Each structure stands twice: as structure tokens, then as C-alpha cells.
């Protein structure tokens, strides 16, 4: 079994650290599966072991498909969550707000890597409870997850050193106006001099030929509660909310997307609606991407002056 108590310092490539995290899940899953088999054979009921087995069964869904799987691709994001943590210049004793924490992977991956930093995730779906379970897999004591609305958080003013948003902006804010409202609320809870880091794929990060189709599919899809924002709109919204943009990095991904011959199935799985073949036939590209699996994204760092 891996020794998960040792912190990993970011001298290593973030992608390598994510691979270590996935091995922790797989090794622990194999070990606990063996215990469960023995309990069954010997007729013993052990609630603690079943609870651990249950959370591991769910956690391995993210890593077991190997590096070609979409679950793994999203879990790993080529080390992107730790790259965001690195850009936020985290120091011991800091308190970080993870806005739209989803299944918790930003806070968990960063919490594992920075054991002396606190991570607090806010999430408006039942995924906040999943995140708590995943954090237990790694024995993390420095992560918390709450069912809070990012537009109206119960936290006092100026209580966080950093705010992080990893692939959550366009889930929370569907347009420029709501992005600005969200940034104003983030600025309220951020200390003076604190930083906000946003990793987000924007419309400009997709090939021109694909942009119109991606936007159109959000209209066709009834289930979808996300959008793809324009970088320029977000840049303006951040500035108007009072932030000063310090840097914008374009991060290229190497393992994402689908070849055009599998585009129909890939897009339908993502958008949860039928994608007419004629829309795909019109495309002059040999590969397609979606927002959670983009060809590149931007990492913005801005300060609360
Ligand atoms: C793509 S997930 C984020 C992934 C996550 N940051 C990570 O590192 O894996 C975006 C999340 O934002 C959440 N969300 C949407 N609107 C929200 C709101 N008003 N307040 C808090 N969370 C919200 C969604 O429920 C969704 O789980």
C-alpha cells in the first residue's frame, strides 16, 4: 500500500503527482476488495469496511479506465488542477475557497499536495457529498465541502487567502453579467491582496469551425446547465468586479477530444441529446472537443488589489 501521509512537493511534474493519486485509489481498492472477500467467506459483517469499499468502488470509476478513458482524462486533466494550485502561490497556513468544487478533485488533489493549506469547496449539487467521501480515501483532514450557492456564500468578508475555480466558471455563470456578480461575491470573501485563479476553456479555445456547433448543442440539450463563455467577456467582468489581471496562460492539452468518425457518439454522450448527422458532416475538422475535454484552456490569475 502507498504511504499517503507523505506530502508531495511540486518539484515533480503535476501530471506525475496525479498518477500517484490514481495509484493510491487503485492500490487501496485492491487491498479492501481482498478484505471484503474474506469477510464474506467468514460470514463477518463489518460496517466500516463496507463503507470504505463503497467509496472506493465509486472512486475507481475515475481512474480504472486507464489513460484513454474519459473519466481518467477528466480526473487527471494532465495535472491541470495542480498547475492552478501552483499558480496561486500557496503557502502554509493559507485558506483557499474552491468555487464550484463538483466532485472535489481540485481541493483533493491540491489538499494531498499541500497538507498545510486548508481547502473549502462550495458546490450546489449532491456532488459535495461525493467529494467528502473521496477526501476520506486519501485521509485528508485539510479539505471541507459545503452545499452552498457561490452567488451568496455564508462566509464573512475577507476570510480567504485564495479563490480557485477549476472548470467551474461556465457552470455557475452562464453569461457575462452573472460572471461579474460571481466575481463580486468572490472578491467580498477574499482578503486584500489575495489571488483568484480561474482555469476555464473559452469559446476562443476551440477551432473556429466547431464553435457555432458547440453553442448550438447547448440550445438543443435540455439537460445542460453550462455554457461556453467568451474570454473577452470574462476579462471585462473580472476587471469591472475590481480584480487586476496578473497573468493569462494558454494551456494546451494533448490527450483530449475525439476523432471526427466518432464525433456523433462523443457529442451525444456529452450533451445528452441527439446530434443530427448533417451538423457533423458540415464540419471541416478531423477532431472534435467539448468544454470538459477541450483542446486547450486558459489559466487566469488576478489579484484583489
Ligand atoms: C465542472 S464542475 C467543477 C469541477 C471541479 N472544480 C473539479 O476540480 O473537478 C462545476 C460545478 O459547479 C457547480 N455549480 C453550478 N452552479 C453553482 C452555484 N451557483 N454554486 C455552487 N456550485 C455551482 C455544478 O453543480 C458543478 O458541479
Whether 168 lines ligand 1, by a CB cut-off of 6 Å, is: yes
Percent above pLDDT 90 for the chain: 87
pLDDT digits (tens, 9 = 90+) for 256-294: 999 999 999 999 999 999 999 999 998 989 999 999 999
Asked if 201 and 228 touch (Cβ cutoff 8 Å), the reply is yes
**Per-residue pLDDT at 4:** 41
Query: Which option is the CATH number for 80-303: 3.30.2350.10, 3.30.470.10, 3.40.50.150, 3.30.590.10?
Result: 3.40.50.150
Name the residue at shortest CA distance from atom 13 of ligand 1: 100
Whether 304 lines ligand 1, by a CB cut-off of 6 Å, is: no
Q: What spacing in Å lies between the alpha carbon of 102 and ligand 1's midpoint?
A: 5
Q: Specify the range with the lowest mean pLDDT, choosing from 66-70, 84-88, 130-134, 190-194.
A: 66-70
Q: What spacing in Å lies between the alpha carbon of 30 and ligand 1's midpoint?
A: 30
CA 55 vs. chain centroid, Å, equals 19
Q: Looking at ligand 1, which atom is closest to the CA of residue 102?
A: 27
Percent above pLDDT 70 for the chain: 94
Asked if 165 and 106 touch (Cβ cutoff 8 Å), the reply is no
Whether 298 lines ligand 1, by a CB cut-off of 6 Å, is: no
Residue 194 backbone phi and psi in degrees, to 5? -70, 165
**Residue 170 burial by CB count (10 A; 0-12/13-18/19+): exposed, middle or buried?**
buried
pLDDT digits (tens, 9 = 90+) for 8-53: 444 568 989 999 999 999 999 999 999 999 999 999 999 999 999 9
Which of 21, 84, 171, when mutated, tests ligand 1's pocket best, judged by the most ligand atoms within 8 Å of its CB?
171
pLDDT digits (tens, 9 = 90+) for 66-117: 545 778 999 999 999 999 999 999 999 999 999 999 999 999 999 999 999 9
Q: What spacing in Å lies between the alpha carbon of 168 and ligand 1's midpoint?
A: 5
Q: Looking at ligand 1, which atom is closest to the CA of residue 292?
A: 1
**Per-residue pLDDT at 11:** 53
Q: What spacing in Å lies between the alpha carbon of 101 and ligand 1's midpoint?
A: 5
| Interatomic CA distance for residues 265 and 268, integer angstroms | 5
Res. 1: pLDDT tops 60? no
User: Is this structure's pTM higher than 0.85?
Assistant: yes
Residue pointed to by grid coordinates 467521501: 133
Amino acid at each position: 500500500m502507498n504511504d499517503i501521509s507523505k506530502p508531495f512537493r511540486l518539484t515533480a511534474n503535476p501530471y506525475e503527482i496525479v498518477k500517484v493519486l490514481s495509484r493510491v485509489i487503485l492500490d487501496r481498492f485492491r487491498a479492501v476488495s481482498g478484505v471484503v472477500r474474506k469477510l464474506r467467506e467468514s460470514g463477518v459483517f463489518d460496517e466500516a469496511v463496507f463503507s470504505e469499499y463503497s467509496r472506493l468502488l465509486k472512486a475507481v470509476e475515475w481512474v480504472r479506465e486507464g489513460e484513454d478513458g474519459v473519466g481518467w482524462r477528466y480526473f487527471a486533466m494532465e495535472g491541470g488542477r495542480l498547475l492552478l494550485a501552483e499558480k496561486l502561490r500557496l503557502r502554509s497556513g493559507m485558506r483557499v475557497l474552491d468555487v464550484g468544487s463538483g466532485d472535489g478533485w481540485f481541493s483533493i488533489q491540491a489538499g494531498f499536495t499541500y497538507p498545510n493549506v486548508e481547502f473549502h469547496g462550495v458546490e450546489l449539487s449532491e456532488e459535495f457529498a461525493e467529494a467528502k467521501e473521496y477526501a476520506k480515501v486519501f485521509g485528508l483532514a485539510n479539505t471541507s465541502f459545503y452545499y452552498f450557492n457561490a452567488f451568496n456564500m455564508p462566509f464573512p468578508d475577507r476570510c480567504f487567502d485564495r479563490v480557485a475555480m477549476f472548470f467551474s466558471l461556465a457552470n455557475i455563470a452562464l453569461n457575462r453579467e452573472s460572471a461579474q456578480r460571481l466575481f463580486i461575491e468572490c472578491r467580498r470573501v477574499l482578503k486584500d491582496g489575495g489571488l483568484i485563479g480561474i482555469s476555464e476553456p473559452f469559446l476562443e479555445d476551440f477551432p473556429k469551425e466547431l464553435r457555432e456547433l458547440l453553442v448550438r448543442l447547448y440550445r438543443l440539450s435540455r439537460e445542460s446547465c453550462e455554457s461556453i463563455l467568451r474570454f473577452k467577456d470574462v476579462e471585462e467582468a473580472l476587471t469591472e468586479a475590481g480584480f487586476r489581471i496578473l497573468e493569462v496562460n494558454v494551456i494546451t492539452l494533448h490527450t483530449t477530444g475525439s476523432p471526427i468518425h466518432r464525433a456523433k457518439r462523443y457529442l451525444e454522450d456529452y450533451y445528452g441529446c441527439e446530434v443530427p448527422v448533417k451538423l457533423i458532416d458540415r464540419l471541416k475538422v478531423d477532431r472534435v472537443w467539448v468544454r470538459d475535454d477541450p483542446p486547450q484552456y486558459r489559466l487566469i490569475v488576478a489579484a484583489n488589489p
